[in-house]
Amino acid sequence: MPEPSPSSFRRGRLLRSGAAVVVLLALAGYLAVQYVTGGTGAPRCEVVSGKGDGASFEFAPEQAVNAATISAVGTARGMPERAVTIALATALQESGLRNIQHGDRDSLGLFQQRPSQGWGTKKQIMDPTYAAGVFYEHLAKVTGYSRLPLTVAAQRVQRSGYPQAYAKHEPDATLLAAALTGRAAATLTCDGRPGADPTGGADSVRAALVRDFGRDVLQEAGAEVGAGATTSPSPSPTGADGDGRTVTVPVPTGTTAGTTLRQRGWELAHWAVANSSALHIVRVSYAGRQWTAGNTDSEWRRATADKSGSVKPDAEVRIVTGQ
């Protein structure tokens, strides 16, 4: 039997070395994920039904940020929860709630809107706030959209080649809308990123709030914003604790588009949790409940009572960042 040639030995060594490198890279990637997420796997978010019927929907932090923006833009425009549900179901179908830079022909973004069809420039469409806003503009022109089947209302905006595809996302979109509009309290949670290096702190949270809800969101409760109006000062960038980490968001005492004070508070609180990974938020408190990044169950728990009595627990949402 002839002995293997030197070239065969070299090829064998190369193959074994290549396989070893692949294994090491895979292990390094796994360890990196474990380090960033505290050893619990990839970060995740979950929304559950407020009816106690066991319905739930699990999704990624990237999707949570986009869903929160879509909902906030809708409520800031005075759109009802049904409109938010339609928008979320549409984005779930069109992009999986991801702000993608590709699609059929020149379709882009969350809603796969096309610059060539007058939806805006590429830059505008890739801005989730703009994309959600222009979707709602078109939806508002659909007569009786809130009474139409979801797939019909969505199709009249999108003109999709697959008009029935939106229907399958209605249950998940309904859960998301109930939580993100604040109607279903303490129903949205995320793992967050405990221990990750923060990059923005309180200033980034404030900027994101204004981006999604508009500048009025940081005004004191009851303040009017407009020409000739006297506005109360916005909360300090350092927050109530003066530590540069806390943002205190006042909850208006009035109602907007039928929204109660408590519902508005939970809308803001859920928005903060949905943005926890992106903005490195580590704690959110509202109405005697508290969410903390990195808890094993990521549930809303009873918060320690405020002994000062200076602020009602449902009059403000407190957001604490990792910086």
Task: For 209-239, write each residue's pLDDT tens digit.
Answer: 999 999 999 985 433 333 333 333 344 443 4
pLDDT at 1 over 90: no
Q: Are 317 and 285 in contact (CB under 8 A)?
A: yes
Radius of gyration of the chain (CA): 23
Tell me which residue of 280, 255, 282, 279 sits closest to 267, measured CA to CA. Answer: 255
Q: How confident is the model at residue 20 (pLDDT cuts 50, 70, 90)?
A: low
Task: For 42-100, write each residue's pLDDT tens digit.
Answer: 779 999 999 989 999 999 999 999 999 999 999 999 999 999 999 999 999 999 999 99
Q: Are 158 and 111 in contact (CB under 8 A)?
A: yes
Q: How confident is the model at residue 17 (pLDDT cuts 50, 70, 90)?
A: low
Task: For 255-284, write each residue's pLDDT tens digit.
Answer: 555 678 999 999 999 999 999 999 999 999
Whole-prediction pTM value?
0.80
Q: What is the average per-residue pLDDT within 17-28?
A: 55
pLDDT of residue 28: 52
DSSP code string of 222-252: T---STT---PPPPPTTTTTTSSSEEEEEPP
DSSP code string of 15-66: HHHHHHHHHHHHHHHHHHHHHHHTSSSS--EEEE-TTSS--EEEE-HHHHHH
CA distance 243 to 64: 27
Q: What is the mean pLDDT of the chain?
A: 82
Exposed, middle or buried, 144 (CB in 10 Å: 0-12/13-18/19+)? exposed
pLDDT of residue 171: 98
DSSP 256: B
